[in-house]
Structure 1
Amino acid sequence: MANLTLAVDDDLLHRARVRAAEEGTSVNAVVRELLTAYSAADRVDAARRRLVALSVSSAAGSGGRPITGASPDPGWNT
């Protein structure tokens, strides 16, 4: 695993450490999680676009019945 050095405001780091401790984690784990999500966002968006394009081009339908169910991602249709 690679090491990363960041320059951040002292107060920002202090607040991040306090919050991470309250959540039972570390600033390192939080940054790792954020970088993972950040680097995967383009793949998720591309997959979403492919799924929407597939659904638009599909001959399948609901027979006029409403499609129900909630997506875990509130921005799924944006």
Structure 2
Amino acid sequence: MNVTLSVDRQVVERARGVARSMGKSLNQLIRDYLEHLTAQSDPERDMQELARLSLESGGRSAGWRFDRDELHERA
């Protein structure tokens, strides 16, 4: 199905840049967004996505380790 939208030129150009940085066309970016927006919540799928994102992020602790005593120190 084709849909016609009215969007400010600057918004379209910025969105094209975002899509390009993601390796997608603007059409695909909008299609993905609409699918995400209208998808019913699926806790199993959401947890899988969270797990995938956490594995991809790698973390940036630079060697810092959580210390419970430091957490509760007052400044």
TM-score range, shorter chain: 0.5 to 0.7
Cα RMSD for the two superposed structures = 2.1
Shift of 1:21: 1.3
| Residue number in structure 2 paired with 1:3 | 2
What is the alpha-carbon distance in structure 2 between the residues aligned to residue 25 and residue 38 of structure 1?
18
1:21-62 Cα distance to aligned partner (Å, 9 max, x none): 12211110011011101111xx21xx55xxxxxxxxxxxxxx
Identical columns (%): 33
**Runs of 5+ unmatched residues, structure 2:** 52-75
Which structure has more relative contact order (CA 8 Å, sep 6+)? It is 1
TM-score w.r.t. length of structure 2: 0.52
TM-score w.r.t. length of structure 1: 0.51
Tell me the number of residue pairs that the alignment of Structure 1 and Structure 2 aligns: 47
Displacement over 2 Å in runs of 4+: none
